[in-house]
């Protein structure tokens, strides 16, 4: 598990960003922004997939970077990248991780 003491390095972020390039966003953040239900769903998705992409819709009042950091805080995950209105989040599985992070 990636905790705050062990933040991702730039090499790890680049690796995960590359892995996420083929992913399609599985969640959309809209007008309601971050609801407790959305945070719970994101948390569950991170548990199963480890690496997820989230899309921020135009009708969302909050900035994507702000949403990314709030989400990471609430789900104990790491923000890999924020590109435009897309957010990439990562939380390594406790066991049997699909991603071997570079050192």
SS3 16: helix
- Alpha-carbon distance of 68 to 89, in angstroms, equals 8
The secondary structure of 33-61 as a DSSP string is -S-HHHHHHHHHHHHHHSEEEEEE-TT--
CATH class of 4-90: alpha beta
Going residue by residue through the chain, which has 103 residues, state the pLDDT in tens, using 9 for 90 and above: 444 445 889 999 999 999 999 999 999 999 998 999 999 999 999 999 999 999 999 999 999 999 999 999 999 999 999 999 999 999 998 888 888 888 8
The widest CA-to-CA distance across the chain, in whole angstroms, is 39
The secondary structure of 60-77 as a DSSP string is --S-HHHHHHHHHHHHT-
Residue 40 CB neighbour total at 10 angstroms: 12
**Domain residue limits, the chain:** 4-90
């Amino acid at each position: 598990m990636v905790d705050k003491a062990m933040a991702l390095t730039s090499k790890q972020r680049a690796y995960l960003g590359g892995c996420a390039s083929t992913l399609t966003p599985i969640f959309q953040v809209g007008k309601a922004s971050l609801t407790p239900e959305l945070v719970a769903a994101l948390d569950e998705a991170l548990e199963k997939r480890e690496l997820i992409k989230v899309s921020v819709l135009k009708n969302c009042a909050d900035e994507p970077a702000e949403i990314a950091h709030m989400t990471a805080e609430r789900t104990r995950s790491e923000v890999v990248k924020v590109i435009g209105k897309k957010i990439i989040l990562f939380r390594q599985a406790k066991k049997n991780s699909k991603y071997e992070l570079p050192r």
